[in-house]
Structure 1
């Protein structure tokens, strides 16, 4: 097995103390591999499949649609018959032989010089291959008249298997099941699917100053918000969570929490306790339980961030293992590092197909201060302009402890590593909050 050092050393710009964001993402991507073909799966009903990761391809047992049918309300006829009837004229008159409804087909064979009134989704009558929309038809009694110009053989007819052919994959392994997928599966008569067992993620906050909701705040203490933010972000990704609460700032408490988490989970996430002032015993402890690839990244907010692998045994390499992310303590930094560093690892280990965050181009509506040499994720408010483009302003002060800025914002403004100050009118990249998994 390739060691972490061998993997990480192969990454361009490797500097364990100040990695560019792209290099950190590359390291995490190499180490956060799917749990493998032996990962347990389970079969669940469609009602329980939303947000789960498919463990195998879903093969269509039928053609969709299952039969040739009409794409709209109108009149079905044989296209060759129209030419014969008109003799090259501009209009055609056809008698109406009957009506075909969805679920109640017209089963008699239509003669060459007649038509059938047909509704959307109804089985195409025998002998008919074309549908003229009812809006293009004049009907008098049991006879219709319409212009031949523009009529094409086969128009407005949906062929059997046109959407999905029997025996072909309807959905592929690794897909995260969406609401539209449930409808597709139901249309195939499939009531349950095989999905991967949920990833287990243990998380906790560190800090003697932290208090849980319901406790009384003393001088210098604050309520722990990070665990609730992490819980929400993890829940949206469809993983099972193990909340280990607040861990005090001492080696014994942290070691106990890490060993328990590593034994019980696939990924361990902590918040706080990895900044320069806190790292003396933390660094030694993490290195004794595993191996840490990096401690800092060139990112704002989120510079202090530890990543590596932990082992549940008495030494590195012994017992079960889990990936470890030591996130900063500041609330905004927790959210930024989660979405741009942690999220992809969780999806990959869940066996899900890679899903890049949605990025859009927007016009900066104000100047933005930016220091070259780090990637910055500023909080922004994006709006549509009259021409359909996007404009964005910041939420104001961008301190990593200003949690209200995340509630006010609707996007991240992503300012690249090498970029300097932004002038009003410059193009910037934004990542909308809507749609974040």
Structure 2
């Protein structure tokens, strides 16, 4: 489990920007202890605990990049076509055989090893055969053409993947190409998740006219799953301070992070905040983000605690921009940059200075062929349809006062956030 000090997040001062908040998170949270070795088939999405060093070069031998005919660069025709006897055939996977004599060519195929005495390959489309089954090669080809030298891609001994890197399918392919069968990764971080409130009920259970089905917990569990977490679903905790405190205390004993939604504001019925303070320490973060305030973070008996807002859109946005960096830090992963695309706005919107806002928007192709973004037509942090029917978020900085049609804005696709 993570073992954080009770005051590791402590700070004072005014409202903090998202950048300051993330910097604080990543500087104070360290990776959980524990590693394991997994097969390549189970490595996708895992965080490397050790560098991957190339045990051999790629490609491991010099080979042909095309189907054609190989010969020595010293024998290349200079002024006109020239005929060469064909002395062999090398297919992919075959031994190159004996050295090729001067003035001779060998039939070769893509990926086949180059024979000793050859260093250049003519593409089969550029040559022809004569009646004596000799290959007629044209002039003009440079020595070394169409050949892939050993180590052209990766040299033996090179660090190809660094510790902290989150494995992707292409990384798995690279490890396999190097002959590896397994990699050393960080253990999965253990996250306990629950929702709070008498006003919500689990899907499938009886619902009173004044209750809503719980959606946040399922959304957060899905987002945690994409980050490779080991998740414990604690369900819904009712508005009972003692029961919430007991659940928090128990969860902290077996988890690295406790993630909740709802109940962390300053209202009389916001019991989570009070319960966290009773069993651990809570720094109530005033983060300059919309939608999203309030967000809470603290420590309960060595485990990190993050409390997200109860409104679904606010919960989604704060998870993407605040909880996700914390989870990656605990997992020992490098924090990847959020990739935004500059696009043209096709809407107007006003905001106040002082906090960063994320506007739900959809991409569409304009008449001139370029892409533009259109704002979701309705406001409200409780509108799940606004997340389903849009493609991402338009990011408006702290100093922005709004958007007018035709302005260039930064667009964050949902794929870059989850």
- Verify: 1:347 aligned to 2:337, yes or no: no
The CA distance in 2 between the partners of 1:303 and 1:122, in whole Å, is: 61
Provide TM-score, normalisation by structure 1: 0.89
The equivalent residue for 1:318 is none
Q: Give the Cα separation in 1 of the matches to 2:144 and 2:74.
A: 10
Q: Distance in 2 between matches of 1:246 and 1:41?
A: 32
Corresponding residue of 1:390: 371
Q: 1:421 aligns with which of 402, 406, 410?
A: 402
| Structure-2 residue corresponding to 1:208 | 198
- Paired position in structure 1 for 2:172: 182
User: Are 2:15 and 1:24 aligned?
Assistant: no
Q: Which is further off, 163-172 or 126-135?
A: 163-172
- Conserved? CA contact 2:276–2:282, under 8 Å: yes
Shift of 1:205: 0.4
CA contact (8 A) 1:298 1:373 kept: yes
How many angstroms apart in 1 are the aligned matches of 2:271 and 2:413?
38
Determine if contact 2:239/2:271 at 8 Å carries over to the other structure. no
- For 1:226, the equivalent position in structure 2 comes to 216
Partner of 2:351: 370
Q: Give the alignment of 1:67-146 within 5 angstroms.
A: 67-82=61-76, 86=77, 88-141=78-131, 142-146=133-137
Change (3 A) 1:250 1:175: same
Secondary structure of the residue that 1:339 maps to in structure 2? helix
Correspondence 1:298 to 2:292: no
The count of residues paired between Structure 1 and Structure 2 equals 415
Query: Which of the numbers 65, 69, 93 marks the counterpart of 2:59?
Result: 65
Deviations 1:7-45 (A, max 9, x none): 6548xxx42xx322222222222222223xxx2111111
- After superposition, the C-alpha distances for 1:361-394 in whole angstroms (9 at most, x for unaligned) are 1110111232222211111112355777531111
Q: Deviations over 1:35-67 (max 9, x none)?
A: 3xxx21111111111111111122222222111
For residues 83 and 364 of structure 2, what CA distance do their matches in structure 1 show?
Answer: 54
Please give the alpha-carbon distance, in whole angstroms, between the structure 1 residues aligned to 2:273 and 2:96. Answer: 77
Distance change in 2, residues 1:200/1:429 (3 Å) = same
Q: How far apart are 1:422 and its partner, in Å?
A: 0.4
Measure how far apart 1:198 and its partner are: 0.4
Q: How far apart are residue 291 of structure 1 and its match? A: 2.6
**Residues 202 and 268 of structure 1 are in contact (CA less than 8 Å); yes or no, is this contact kept in structure 2?**
yes
Q: TM-score scaled to structure 2, two decimals? A: 0.93
User: Contact 1:274/1:295 (CA < 8 Å) preserved in 2?
Assistant: no
Moved more, 386-395 or 340-349: 386-395
Please report the RMSD computed on the Cα atoms of aligned residues, expressed in angstroms. 2.2
Matched, 1:237 2:214: no
Shift in alpha-carbon separation, 1:282–1:260, aligned structure 2, 3 A = same
Structure 2 segments unaligned to the other structure (5+ residues): none
Query: 1-side partners of 2:274 and 2:17: how far apart?
Result: 24
Asked if 2 retains the 8 angstrom alpha-carbon contact of 1:100 and 1:117, the reply is yes
Q: What's the secondary structure of 2:102's corresponding residue?
A: coil
1:43 matched to which residue of 2? 37
Shift of 1:284: 3.9
Cα distance, 1:192 vs. partner?
A: 1.5
CA distance in 2, matches of 1:177, 1:224: 32
4+ residue runs over 3 A deviation: 1-10, 278-285, 383-390
Q: Contact 1:4 / 1:293 at 8 angstroms: preserved in 2?
A: no
1:228 Cα deviation from its structure 2 partner: 0.4
Task: Decide which of 401, 408, 421 is 2:382's aligned counterpart.
Answer: 401
Q: Conserved in 1, the CA contact under 8 Å of 2:345 and 2:408? A: yes
